[in-house]
Amino acid sequence: MNNTPKKLLVTGGAGYIGSVCAARLVESGYEVVVLDDLSTGHADAVPDGCRFVEGDAAETAASLLAEGFDGVLHFAAKSLVGESMQYPAKYWNGNVLVSLQLLEAMRKHGTPRLVFSSTAAVYGQPDEVPIAESAPTRPTNTYGATKLAIDHAITSYAAAHGLAAASLRYFNVAGAYGRFGERHTTETHLIPIVLQVPAGDRQQVQIYGDDYPTEDGTCVRDYIHVTDLADAHLLALEHTTPGAHRIYNLGNGTGFSNKHVVDTCRAVTGHPIPAVTADRRGGDPAVLVASSERARTELGWKPERANLDDMVADAWAFTQSRQPA
Amino acid making up residue 154: I
Q: Does 258 bind ligand UFG (CB under 6 A)?
A: yes
CA dist 139 → 94, 146, 149, 224 (Å)? 18, 9, 11, 21
**6-65: which residues touch ligand UFG (CB under 6 A)?**
none
**From candidates 119, 146, 167, 269, binder to ligand UFG by CB under 6 A:** 119
What 3-state DSSP class applies to 101? helix
Residue 145 vs 237, nearer CB to ligand UFG? 145
- Determine the interface stretch with ligand UFG among 117-125, 156-164, 295-303, 313-321 (rule: CB under 6 A): 117-125
The length of the chain is 325
**Total chain residues near ligand UFG (CB under 6 A):** 22
Vertex 231: Cα angle to 248 and 239 (nearest 5): 55
Vertex 179: Cα angle to 29 and 204 (nearest 5): 145
**212-241: which residues touch ligand UFG (CB under 6 A)?**
219, 221
**From candidates 81, 195, 224, 229, binder to ligand UFG by CB under 6 A:** 81
Residue 166 vs 205, nearer CB to ligand UFG? 205
Q: Does 190 bind ligand UFG (CB under 6 A)?
A: yes
User: Is 143 in the active site?
Assistant: yes
For residues 40 and 22, the answer to whether their CB atoms sit within 8 Å is no
CB of 262 to ligand UFG, least distance (A): 9
Would you list the DSSP string of 64-80?
A: HHTT--SEEEE------
**196-215: which residues touch ligand UFG (CB under 6 A)?**
205-208
Given 16, 91, 123, 143, which residue is catalytic?
143
For β-strands 31-36 and 7-11, DSSP reports them as parallel
Residue 13 vs 139, nearer CB to ligand UFG? 139
Interface characters, 127-166, with ligand UFG (x: CB under 6 A): ----------------xx----------------------
- Determine the interface stretch with ligand UFG among 19-27, 187-195, 266-274, 307-315 (rule: CB under 6 A): 187-195
**From candidates 65, 166, 288, 295, binder to ligand UFG by CB under 6 A:** 288
Which of 81, 120, 74, 121 lies closest to 98 in space, CA to CA? 74
CB of 227 to ligand UFG, least distance (A): 17
Which of 73, 35, 316, 28 lies closest to 181 in space, CA to CA? 316
What is the contact surface with ligand UFG in residues (CB under 6 A)? 79, 81, 119-121, 143-144, 172, 188-190, 193, 205-208, 219, 221, 258, 281, 284, 288
